[in-house]
Amino acid sequence: MGSTRPAGLPLDPAGLPGPAPERFFAPSAEEEARRAVGADGADTRRREYQAAEERFTERAAYWFRVTTRTGPDAMADAFRQLIQGPGDPAAVRVVRPTAASRGRREAVIR
């Protein structure tokens, strides 16, 4: 089971089938994986992820209206629209913190 906070909710595995759940803290697991593959491996993974993300975004445009914006204002606008309520299910916003962050930790908000 993953968590975005180190002290997440208590884990109660009673009644769950299969192997016993194991709690992990997502940012720590990401950092551990990055160290395991080294700097070159992390760069290779980032490029592969970026290429896959670009293919997905291009293909999504066949079914959705995809817009891409960068910068803090774009992120704030997308968040405001998200919390205001239901949006257009055919619209997809790809939001990146900066233009330099292309392919890195972007948020896709529908």
pLDDT in the model for residue 65: 92
Cα diameter, the chain: 47
Task: With 0.85 as the threshold, say if the pTM is over it.
Answer: no
Measure the CA–CA gap between 28 and 30, rounded to whole angstroms: 5
- Contact assessment for residue 88 and residue 109, using Cβ atoms and an 8 Å cutoff: no
pLDDT in tens, 61-106: 999 999 888 888 988 998 898 899 888 889 888 887 775 655 444 4
pLDDT in the model for residue 104: 46
